[in-house]
Amino acid sequence: MKKIELKKILVLALFFFGMSAFVFFLPMTGYGAGGENAQYDIGIDVSPNIINIESERGGDIRILTNMRYSFFAANGHNIFIYFNDSDSVENIRPTRDSLGNLILKFSLEDLMVIESWLRSNDINNVMVVISMDNGDEYIGHGDVYINRKR
């Protein structure tokens, strides 16, 4: 009879030990990077992924994101696009795709303003920073190949 009582006490002790470990661990994983002026990662893709800066054709360069356009329209404040830690590209136009995701457009002429920061015939780093009204920032990183051919 005493063995059964010891087994029950042991099972209850293990249960409460496991439950307390779970409860104390939960706050560390549940809240993430929230808080005031938090930073969040977003996925981006540059289209086209190879840009010929010597091309005689103009056109738009698009950065596709996985952020919802409706979320940006309701809360978005500023957009910055940096190539290789340069100044931001100007005249960025936000729009959406057929799935409702945010697309950032700018022209090749706007990219040429920061041409001195671009590495020709090499992969260039692209960083997108979207700041929200509440101070939060959404940051995405990607790569694009800059080509210089006639």
pLDDT band for position 7 (cuts 50, 70, 90):
confident
Q: What is the extent of the structural domain holding 106?
A: 39-147
Residues 4 and 51 reside in one and the same domain: no
* Whether 82 and 102 share a structural domain: yes
How confident is the model over 42-56, as pLDDT tens digits? 999 999 999 988 877
Residues 24 and 68 in one domain: no
47 and 96 share one domain: yes
CB-CB contact of 114 with 67 (8 Å)? no
Residue 9 vs residue 134, higher pLDDT = 134
pTM of the model: 0.71
- Where b means 16+ CB within 10 Å and e means fewer, 82-116 reads bbeebebbeebebebeeeebbbbebeeebbeebee
Does residue 80 surpass a pLDDT of 60?
yes
Is there a single domain that holds both residue 54 and residue 88?
Answer: yes
pLDDT category at 20 given cuts 50, 70, 90 is low
CA distances from 119 to 14, 31, 53, 56 (A): 60, 40, 11, 19
pLDDT band of residue 27 (cuts 50, 70, 90) is very low
